[in-house]
Structure 1
Amino acid sequence: MAVSPETLPPKKKRSSSDERLLRSLLLRSKETSNLSPIPFVLYRNSNSIIRKTKLLTLLLEELLLVDQVIYSSFPASAVLCFEELYIVLQSIKTLIQDCLFGSKLWLLIQQQSVANKFHELTLELSTLVDIFPVKEIKLTQDVAELVLLLRKLCSKTTPLVEEKDVQLKIDVLEKLDRIKGQIVPQQSKLKEMFTRLELNDSATCTDEIEILEEEVRNQSDEKSKADIVALIGLVRYAKCVLYGESSAVRTLRSREKSGSMDLTIPADFRCPISLDLVRDPVVVSTGQTYDRASINLWIESGHTTCPKTGQTLDHTEMIPNCALRNLIVMWCREHRIPFESTETKEKVNCVTTNKTLLEATKMTVSFLIQKARASQSSEMANRFVHELRSLAKTDANSRACIAEADGLPLLIKFLGNEHPNLQVNAVTTILNLSILEENKTRIMETDGVLNGIVEVLRTGATWEAKGNAAATIFSLTGVHAYRKKLGRKTRVVKGLMELAKTGPISSKRDALVAILNLAGDRETVGKLLEVGVVEMASEVMDGLPEEGVTVLEAVVKKGGLAAITATFHVIKKLAMILRDGTERAQESAAATLVNVCRKGGSETVSELAAIPGIERVIWEVMGMGTGRGRRKAATLLRILRRWAAGLYSNPTAAYSTTTASSTAVVLPG
């Protein structure tokens, strides 16, 4: 007999909130069950819990298909189980992902505690499955059997650590102890150990080092930090001994992938001293922002003035520029650029006195120098010099070890133009070594090193080599005595000037920052003027106005009447920068014009006054410029007013220039 639809009881719709919860739970369960087991350690632990989540996924899919006739929603006990299951699944997913993408060596060392976490999560999952209200929901027999199977699997669990993983951990700890005792590990044993950890090439080792460094920053326990730092030393050594040959190729590929970083960094994100990306921006007493490492080095070298403005620093306290730092972090994330501040770097370096790391670094340096010295071809030598370059970039201990192992005399051999890649790696290694203050003395005093750097600066095979040679000169000028010594060398000054004129933008910046440092010495400014620094700065202003006018400001400040004379013909270009430049460029242009007008007398002022609309430009800077820019613009306006009133004398202009136009200045009412 046919049954009329009206005779059937109406179905009650399940609560939409319960259904959303169940679907979210199913999605999280699928994500977790689709993860791969950890391949190198704790495989059985991760694989076991993933299989359980797969069963849970099947159960949740069946629950979504259950036809709820009696209940309009799940029982409260079931909803509570769903909520708790979501949290447990999220914890399982996070744990597995941390193991998969974290440090392999640190996971190996921590395997027992991680195995315990897997066990604890399995027990939590078991508890929730046990209390799940199967009878209240009226599941089908198949679904109920699925619940029983899941309960049975979850109940049979122990914190399992496999014997082979335990033995691998013992092997790693033994290698660390031998290195600490200055015993070089056997290469075959090291290879076997790293193969098991799937650290099979230079790229994976480099990634492992970066992950370990991040792990140090995340640790609060000092012992754990020391243990991780020791592991970093082991991986660095193994990377060079086992896989060093592939690293130069990897770096070349990464350069091709990332492109020229120097050309893309916004000007506001560059440190005025190093011209590199600011990692830890701080504001000094003059209101200027610098990278903490660069300004610290500047002050520790004996300077008492602001590098950009030349003003005396009232104090050496530094205020973090959090707003700029946040912008830089966002920009780096957008362009997938690793960001590491000076502060976090110091957290890594604070434990680098670790004995194991130090001995591993010494072994690594000794191996690389021996191999580079014994290389029969430039290609082979380049691979090992490249590793020295990378190592010299890591920390102070590495720089000290390379210099103490007579690395500088070795590097001199590779500064010739015959092999461009080798030349770049050699000069960049010296640049990285120069970051350490003690190494500056070694570079200046070791026979042939300084001459080799200067030769690369002048005749290097590539712009990159020339730029890094210029950056090395800049680093050395951080010491006052060396700044005077380098400034007296005509080859140094001419090499920097030529690079600033003809090089690409990144190399120009390297040269300009070195020239700016040299311009801090009055005697050196005279030599800079002799070789045409004003004309060079004028040319540079066309493409790099901020950098060019900053150099000109420093030269005018220290150069006396000779600098004023040379700058007379650049006044119109300075006025254009005052009108169209960035705030920083306007500030330097205003400061330069004030110095020129004060020292150059009425004839110089009249040249500035003859420029149409100059007062309006000055008024705009007074209203919208930086703090220092507004002050300098106000001073400049007062000079023009005194000149217009016939009150401006010409006490210091002991030279003749082309007669300027007598166009009168129309002062604002």
Structure 2
Amino acid sequence: MAGNGKFRIWKMSIYKSSSSSSASSPRTPPKPDPPNEFLCPISGSLMADPVVVSSGQTFERASVQVCKVLGFCPTLSDGSVPDFSAIIPNLALKSSIINWCRNSHMELPSVPDSSSIESKVRNLTAQQHQGGDPGIRFSEMELLKGVEDNPRVNFSHAETELNARINYSSSSEESVIANGISTPQMLPFTQKPACYSSSSSSASTSFEMGSNPSSSSTGEDEVFLMKFKSLDVVEQEQGVVLLRKTTRNDEEARVTLCTPRLLQGIKPLLISRYPVVQTNSAAAIVNLSLAKVNKIKIVRSGVVPLLIDLLKGGFEESKEHAAGAIFSLALEDDNKTAIGVLGALQPLLHALRSGTESTRRDSALALYHLTLVNSNRVRLIKLEAVGVLLGMLRTGVLVDRVVLVVCNLAVSSEGRSALLDGDAVECLVAILRGGGDFTPSESTRENCVAALFLLSHGSMRFKGLAREARAAEVLQIVVERGSERAKEKARRILVALRGRDEEEDGGEIDWEGVMRGGLSRTRCRVPATHSKGLNSTEF
């Protein structure tokens, strides 16, 4: 009986336990829906790492990164289009989300998988560009149209996209921020390489062809291959000059003739000992590379190592075309890492320092596009490029282009450290200050402010170096007279020099007080919205 009693008690205890459990379950309150402002407008999920973009909206960081990689800018429900050129962590909102989750007994949000966001972004892309391929990077399409139609460089970052791009199939870490810092937004320049000319050069007109060059495209690559393989140097010259002429202005011919056979056939001519053969072979590669669909094909053919060899020891005009070809190929995101791995950075850096004007210009832009990828930034820093770049800025050589490379390097912590060691703050402030025969353009001033903004991120060293360089007085002038793109970053640097308390309190900054060494404690609101069309570099 005792055993039975125990058994019954045991059974009853289980019964009661299960009853109480089932009775309590209906009383469990339903999980509340999060406020709309806690949800990412792109992913639709609770934000784990919210960031404010340049136009003032808040998104999940991973969503911004994917949009940049794909070159996509969504139209929001209110009809506005965000500006992803700069992002800043929204710490206040992140704290509110965490508190809401704890109070609501909800799990804290985790960083979303980039592949799921990419799928959503591609769907949005397809909806906004009906009939288009969701996989197409629209910024690249616009870029390549610009490459054809706009031979002059436009250094205004409002027109260039350091937003894309662009990528660059780079990892999200390479394509976004280190911020308070955003990585330079992709800045595909709307221009052809400096070596490219729609008119004939002396080399390409060394003799006249007996037939219309454009008609040879109907025979595809066979006519050219026969001449390339000839043992007669004159035949080789005729072949490469004909290819250069045929592809100079004919987009269709560029696409039709850029076959694996032709690329393999022209490779030996790129290292020919005869100047006309070598130079026109390199120029023909530049022409072929202007077609977007050819860029990856050319890199995969094994032409890049030969272009690098030309850059190191080719004839002078061949070097110009080699730099131009590498620049053109670097515009394609999927080529950036490969070109860096193949060893182009050091020869480009040397050409930037000692080449002809055309070679230096194209080398600078090639380095800019290549350093949009973090792995190439690291390689360039290890090559001690910072000293070379800052030396060129101090002597006023290609300042408008070199400062863009400096902005890219300043995105990474290694780059910021190397730049601060090299007295980049004093150098950039000196450019902003101007003087003598040098007057920086507005875009150069914007880029200098952008570089200073990147260097100011999380660095106590920056404050000391900025004070030594008397940066505050120059930045105050930018606040008063600079472009809208530069004003906001200059204001924020001034705030950083004095601490962030007033900014976080919502107090409007007394900028005259900053110049006198103090900040006003008046509680007015600092505008939270950044102007659209920021510098080509992301901050």
TM-score, structure 2 as length reference: 0.53
Separation in 1 of the partners of 2:313 and 2:145? 25
1:595 aligned onto 2:448:
no
Separation in 1 of the partners of 2:361 and 2:236? 30
Separation in 2 of the partners of 1:297 and 1:562? 22
Deviations 1:562-606 (A, max 9, x none): 5323333221111011222221111111111122122322x2211
Quick one: which amino acid aligns to residue 616 of structure 1?
E
Structure 1 residues 338 and 668, CA, compared in 2 at 3 Å: closer, same or farther? farther
1:467 aligned onto 2:320:
yes
Deviations 1:328-384 (A, max 9, x none): xxxxxxxxx999xxxxxxxxxxxxxxxxx998622275334323432512x442233
Q: How does 1:327-476 map to 2 (within 5 A)?
A: 361-363=217-219, 365-374=221-230, 376-377=232-233, 379-404=234-259, 406-416=261-271, 418-446=273-301, 448-462=302-316, 464-476=317-329
Please say if residues 281 and 289 of structure 1, whose CA atoms lie closer than 8 Å, have aligned partners that are also in contact. no
Q: Which runs of 5+ in 2 are unaligned?
A: 1-142, 177-181, 191-196, 200-212, 435-439, 505-513, 520-539
Q: Which runs of 5+ in 1 are unaligned?
A: 1-270, 322-336, 340-356, 648-663
Please say if residues 579 and 586 of structure 1, whose CA atoms lie closer than 8 Å, have aligned partners that are also in contact. no
**Alignment partner, residue 555 of structure 1:** 409
Structure possessing the higher relative contact order (Cα contacts under 8 Å, 6 or more residues apart): 2
Deviations 1:189-210 (A, max 9, x none): xxxxxxxxxxxxxxxxxxxxxx
Structure 1 residues 276 and 367, CA, compared in 2 at 3 Å: closer, same or farther? closer
1:621 aligned onto 2:478:
yes
Deviations 1:546-577 (A, max 9, x none): 111111011111x2145323333221111011
**Alignment partner, residue 546 of structure 1:** 400
1:477 aligned onto 2:330:
yes
Deviation for aligned residue 1:667 = 3.6
Please say if residues 275 and 513 of structure 1, whose CA atoms lie closer than 8 Å, have aligned partners that are also in contact. no
Q: How does 1:127-138 map to 2 (within 5 A)?
A: none
Q: How does 1:69-108 map to 2 (within 5 A)?
A: none
Structure 1 residues 485 and 548, CA, compared in 2 at 3 Å: closer, same or farther? same
Q: How does 1:97-176 map to 2 (within 5 A)?
A: none
Deviations 1:189-248 (A, max 9, x none): xxxxxxxxxxxxxxxxxxxxxxxxxxxxxxxxxxxxxxxxxxxxxxxxxxxxxxxxxxxx
Deviations 1:607-640 (A, max 9, x none): 111124x323112212222221111111111122
Deviations 1:443-485 (A, max 9, x none): 2232x422211111222221x3223212222222233332112
1:518 aligned onto 2:376:
no
User: What is the aligned-residue identity percentage?
Assistant: 19
**Alignment partner, residue 288 of structure 1:** 158
Please say if residues 217 and 257 of structure 2, whose CA atoms lie closer than 8 Å, have aligned partners that are also in contact. no
Quick one: which amino acid aligns to residue 639 of structure 1?
A
Separation in 2 of the partners of 1:358 and 1:338? 14
Structure 1 residues 388 and 524, CA, compared in 2 at 3 Å: closer, same or farther? same
1:607 aligns with one of 455, 460, 465:
465
**Alignment partner, residue 93 of structure 2:** none
Separation in 2 of the partners of 1:449 and 1:616? 50
Structure 1 residues 366 and 562, CA, compared in 2 at 3 Å: closer, same or farther? closer
Structure number, greater radius of gyration: 1
Structure 1 residues 524 and 531, CA, compared in 2 at 3 Å: closer, same or farther? same
Separation in 1 of the partners of 2:227 and 2:499? 71
Separation in 2 of the partners of 1:275 and 1:435? 7
Separation in 1 of the partners of 2:297 and 2:267? 13
Quick one: which amino acid aligns to residue 629 of structure 1?
A
Please say if residues 168 and 373 of structure 2, whose CA atoms lie closer than 8 Å, have aligned partners that are also in contact. no
Separation in 2 of the partners of 1:583 and 1:544? 15
Please say if residues 564 and 599 of structure 1, whose CA atoms lie closer than 8 Å, have aligned partners that are also in contact. no
Structure 1 residues 618 and 514, CA, compared in 2 at 3 Å: closer, same or farther? same
Structure 1 residues 403 and 297, CA, compared in 2 at 3 Å: closer, same or farther? farther
Structure 1 residues 629 and 417, CA, compared in 2 at 3 Å: closer, same or farther? farther
Instruction: Give the aligned length.
Output: 331
Quick one: which amino acid aligns to residue 286 of structure 2?
L
Separation in 2 of the partners of 1:281 and 1:606? 36
Structure 1 residues 600 and 295, CA, compared in 2 at 3 Å: closer, same or farther? closer
Q: How does 1:202-241 map to 2 (within 5 A)?
A: none
Please say if residues 512 and 547 of structure 1, whose CA atoms lie closer than 8 Å, have aligned partners that are also in contact. yes
Deviation for aligned residue 1:404 = 2.5
Quick one: which amino acid aligns to residue 591 of structure 1?
A
Separation in 2 of the partners of 1:364 and 1:388? 11
Separation in 1 of the partners of 2:468 and 2:449? 16
Deviations 1:468-505 (A, max 9, x none): 2122222222333321122223x311111111111122
TM-score, structure 1 as length reference: 0.44
1:638 aligned onto 2:504:
no
Please say if residues 470 and 496 of structure 1, whose CA atoms lie closer than 8 Å, have aligned partners that are also in contact. yes
Please say if residues 385 and 425 of structure 1, whose CA atoms lie closer than 8 Å, have aligned partners that are also in contact. yes
**Alignment partner, residue 78 of structure 2:** none
**Alignment partner, residue 36 of structure 2:** none
Separation in 1 of the partners of 2:400 and 2:225? 42
Structure 1 residues 433 and 279, CA, compared in 2 at 3 Å: closer, same or farther? closer
Q: Which moved more, 1:581-590 or 1:468-477?
A: 468-477
Say which structure is richer in helix: 1
